[in-house]
Amino acid sequence: MTSNQIVKLLPYQHPFLFVDELTAVSSEGVTGNYTFKKNAYFYKGHFKNNPITPGVILTECMAQIGLVCLGIFLLKDELLEGNPQVALTSSQVDFFIPVLPGEKVTVISEKEVFRFHKLKCNVKLLNEKGELVCRGKISGMIGNR
């Protein structure tokens, strides 16, 4: 399964798709990136005159690339018909520096455990300078509808 096929199977669409491309995918992890659009809807109110990307959106980006894309790859034989169903079961993320409008980020995810359709990953998000923006553990259930 190619990176483009994985992205096409994602159960998200604009304006809630936070994956531009996957640059590496294996059974052990995934790396991908996303550029936050300067006119994204969430910048209008977060924060007044000082827009930064909300932590919940950064967590979503990490989950979409680091958990869902990897889960689709791991279940590629079961998901041939498409329509994967995803349920986030837990996330614990520590934040260190902000992401500004227009910034490109890279998500690097490493599989910790995958059993009975439950996937748990160690995920980190880096900015364009390679600085650690946030990191944590994200878990979810992935299956076919």
Q: What is the side-by-side strand order in the sheet with 118-126?
A: 21-26, 29-35, 104-115, 118-126, 132-144, 84-95
Compute the distance between CA of residue 95 and CA of residue 123 in angstroms, rounded to an integer: 12
Could you tell me which residues come within 8 angstroms of residue 22 by beta carbon, excluding any fewer than 6 positions away? 3, 6, 7, 30, 31, 32, 65, 69
Catalytic residues: 46
pLDDT means per 10 residues, the chain with 145 residues, are 92 95 98 97 92 98 98 85 84 98 98 96 98 98 82
The pTM (predicted TM-score) of the whole model is 0.95
pLDDT of residue 83: 76
CATH no. for 3-144: 3.10.129.10
* Angle, CA 38 vertex, CA 36 and CA 39 arms, to 5°: 110
Domain boundaries, given as residue ranges, for the chain: 3-144
Cβ 26 vs Cβ 76: under 8 Å: no
pLDDT of residue 99: 98
pLDDT of residue 34: 98
